[in-house]
Structure 1
Amino acid sequence: MISEQDVETYRRDGVIVVPEVLDQKTLAEVRGVITELVAGSAKTLEHTDVYDLEPGHTAESPRVRRIKAPHKVHAIFNDIVRSPAIIDILTKLIGPGLRLHGSKLNMKSARYGSPVEWHQDWAFYPHTNDDVLAIGVLLDDCDITNGPMLVTPGTHTGEVWNHHGDDGCFAGLIDPDTIKSEIDRALPCMGRAGSMSFHHVRALHGSALNTSDRPRNLLLYEVAASDAWPLMGVKDFDEFNSRLLSGDPVVEPRMTNVPVRLPLPPARRQGSIYETQSASKKSYFTRAA
């Protein structure tokens, strides 16, 4: 699915976009599942283990901004990340041993889909080495108007910015005043539905409000080399190994010299990145009224 030049671009920039990896049949099936999940959110007015809700969500007008851990919610999301095409790409970018760290489905509905402030994934889940990346599966055609993910090339080899607030607690975002030049260099990850972005865990990124009249649903998978172990610990070794995508279980973590900031003390508002970032007094992106 990708060439040696694509691999070199990923090494240099920390991000690539691979056109139309998912076929139309799979896209149609995924959209059907999402429609059912959104309809099911009408049964709750609070965040749950499955749903992270937009402000203004009601039973009459369901608004979902995230499906949490979709690979646990419906088999189709687990099947996608384990498909041969994706495993082939991941093997070329990370190596033969692969583990799913987590997944989420960020849903930006037309005219109000929530932004995500500038951050590095590495700040949320540092590992013993940084052979870790996120896959962004475009479930809708994505252009500059419907809130594409913006990534700043080259930032995956630089510093880990401070993601803590004035109170000293983890805030899940970077003060935008400290990264003005990096923001100016950011590039959008756009393409036709079925395309996928692959961005390094230390790459700086964020995304704006969806100002279009079209949705922008982005299915995200976080994948690590099997010998990259989370520094915050492993609670259940059997569950940890159940997330292997390829290769055998590893009990000798590979340690590399990479900069680390732990997400401690924990955020005052626990939950999704939206909840964590909402506690900050500073923001870059415009939010829906």
Structure 2
Amino acid sequence: MYAVDVVGTGFTVLDRVYAGSLVVSSEELGGSCGNVLISLAMLQRNVAPVLSLGEDEIGVRLVVAFRRAGAETRYIRQTRHIQSPVLAQHLHSSGVHTFEFRCPETAAELPRYQPIEQHDVSRALPVIKNCNVFYTDRLSSAIVDAMEAAAKAGSIVYFEPSAIGDESLFSRAVAAASVLKFSSDRLASLTGRVALHEALFLIVTHGESGLEVRRGREKAWCKSYPAPAVRDTCGSGDMVSVGLIDWILNRQERATGKLSLDEFVAGVEAGQRLAAENCAYVGARGLFRERGADYARSVLRGVGD
């Protein structure tokens, strides 16, 4: 089995964007996991999504989007008994966005994300055990099993949850993780409930103010990069993860233990540069759509416009 740069699973949806009205302005692959994986594929990383989608038009569109970006799609399972997920995103004039799982036009409930199951993990186990980075932003019993399998094989496990949820699963996930990215408003609920091992890099985001990187007792503050313009802040956090994972892959190591905090911060800052540039464009990957992957690569290197 060939080695894969990134294997990932988690929140992947059709992102339906409404800008100032109930008229759809764009539809594209979205969700944190979806954004991170497809962006890395566009940067010519070997990416293998492990997902559960419907055997419907939306599912086909999502698979085709991954395939066109260069991702390996054989581990995306499509079945008739589920509907592929859709998320409505409202883009406001300030660049702020809100989300809902209800169609603004019909008020009907939109199909929700469905996590992978144990047989999906079993089928993808060869690549899970041979990836450099395993990424997830959601949890289920099967996903935690995949995280533990990747960690046991020596892969870097990048965990970017939106909530704690099941405390037992969350504790197992954190124990397997190499990197945990969490927002500051949710950190209070994490403190004291889950043990953070000494080797874990913890990224605490503080919105437009910047973010903090911790490992054990070490701390570093990374202020935000100024955006050239703010049209849409959607995907900013995802771009930080894209830049950091890409930087980790450049080091060609399957472990973070050898990295100093200062070295790790350099990768975070590459992601922050990408996030700042992306704010000038509409959509979670507007920079890639409008300027292309080569320009995104130049931003990561610190030589953009």
TM-score for both structures, normalised by structure 2: 0.25
- TM-score normalised per structure 1: 0.26
- Which has a greater percent of helix? 2
Of structures 1 and 2, the one scoring higher in RCO (CA 8 A, sep 6+) is 1
